[in-house]
Amino acid sequence: MSAKTEAQKDNTMKDAGITQGAGTTDPVIAQVLKHFEAGDPAIMGLIAADIDFRIDHYKDDADIAWQSATDIEGFAQVLTRLGQEVFPQGTQILAADTQDLGNGWFLTRFEQRFFYARSAAMAESVTFITTHQEDGKMDFFREVVTTVTEI
C-alpha cells in the first residue's frame, strides 16, 4: 500500500467537483456542499447549534435580508426558503476548491449551475465561502455571491 501524494490528496473529492488544498482532510464545508447538492437532510448533522450563517451578494438588488441565521433552527428556515425560492430544481456543483487556512478556518471558491427561480432561467454562479468548523460541525459560514449569470 503506497502513501498518496499531495496531488492525489487534492483530488480526493473530484466526484463532486470538490478539491482541497494540500495536506487537508475532508473539511465539513465539503460535506455540507455535497449534502446541499443532493438535497440530503443529513446536512443538519454537520451544523453547530450556534451557527453564525450569512449569504451576501455583490452588486445585486435581490432581497437577502432573510439569508442569515444565528442558530440551527434559523439555518433550517433559511435552507428551506433557499430550496423553495432560489433553487427549486436543486443545484449542480461545477467546482469547489477549498483551502485550509488553519485553526478550523477554510476558504472555498464554489461554482454551481441551477435553475434560478428569481429570473426563471438556468444560471451559473461563482461564490466565495469562508467557514469555521469545530468538533466536526460548521459553526461559521459567510458566502459572497460574486456572479449569477443566466445561461
Cβ atoms 52, 75 nearer than 8 A: no
Write the pLDDT tens digit of every residue in 96-132. 999 999 999 999 999 999 999 888 999 999 999 999 9
Write the pLDDT tens digit of every residue in 132-147. 999 999 999 999 999 9
pTM (predicted TM-score): 0.82
Which of the four pLDDT bands, split at 50, 70 and 90, describes residue 15?
Answer: very low
Give bridge partners of residue 52 from the DSSP assignment: 140
Give bridge partners of residue 57 from the DSSP assignment: 145
